A and B are shown apart, each in its own frame.
Chain A
């Protein structure tokens, strides 16, 4: 069974701080990794994706991938209360249908 693991949280950070969200995956053949944000009762919203080892930055967000250690992380700089949501890590399984395997998500709470 190919697993995607995330700490369920809640992760609480003060406004303006850096939030660090982590995800590990079991399938060493996993190729691409996606971070989605999901507000309560809403659909997943794509934040960014990464498929090469190293860092990828987009505005306040940085994704980090380490394939050797099988983890991917998301850093949120200058966290805002509006960033409070559940962050979903999704891994492309590698089959022909491009199905995504989601983790259960980490709940982030940014306190004013």
Chain B
């Protein structure tokens, strides 16, 4: 069964450094998402991406965050200057297209900011 794949599985970064989280969505999917989950808290929406542009973003997704689809397969989340509170699990998800379609999640990247 097709999967969303994320790399790395664990990223440790010094506060203030830039970090890029990578995702390969399911190949025929058109909508891509990033969510995060701080330890012990709920899954929170960050951003959705369709047709090479941001469709929607939450209040969390401020100027420190950016997303990019650099080629036909990868989807990346960049955090420019990491803060301690950015420590969380970051999940990439994808869905087939317009309309309400189920979102399938990758295994996540655990981001630890020191």
Contacts and interface: CB of A to CB of B under 8 A. Distances in A.
A49 B108 contact: no
A45 B108 CA distance: 12
Interface residues of B, number: 28
Interface of A: 31-32, 34, 36, 42-46, 49, 51, 88, 90, 92, 95-105
Given A92-B100, A98-B48, A43 B105 contact: yes
B100 A99 contact: no
25 contacts: A31-B100, A34-B102, A42-B107, A43-B108, A44-B91, A46-B102, A49-B100, A90-B43, A95-B56, A97-B50, A97-B54, A97-B55, A98-B48, A98-B55, A98-B100, A98-B103, A99-B48, A99-B58, A100-B35, A100-B43, A101-B45, A102-B42, A102-B43, A102-B45, A104-B42
Interface string B53-95: 0111110000000000000000000000000000001010001
Nearest to A32: B100
Contacts of B45: 99-102
Interface of B: 31, 33, 35, 41-45, 47-48, 50, 54-58, 89, 91, 95, 100-108
B103 to A, nearest CB: 6
Q: Is the interface of A mostly helix, strand, loop or mixed?
A: loop
Nearest to A103: B42
Contacts of B106: 43
A67 B58 CA distance: 25
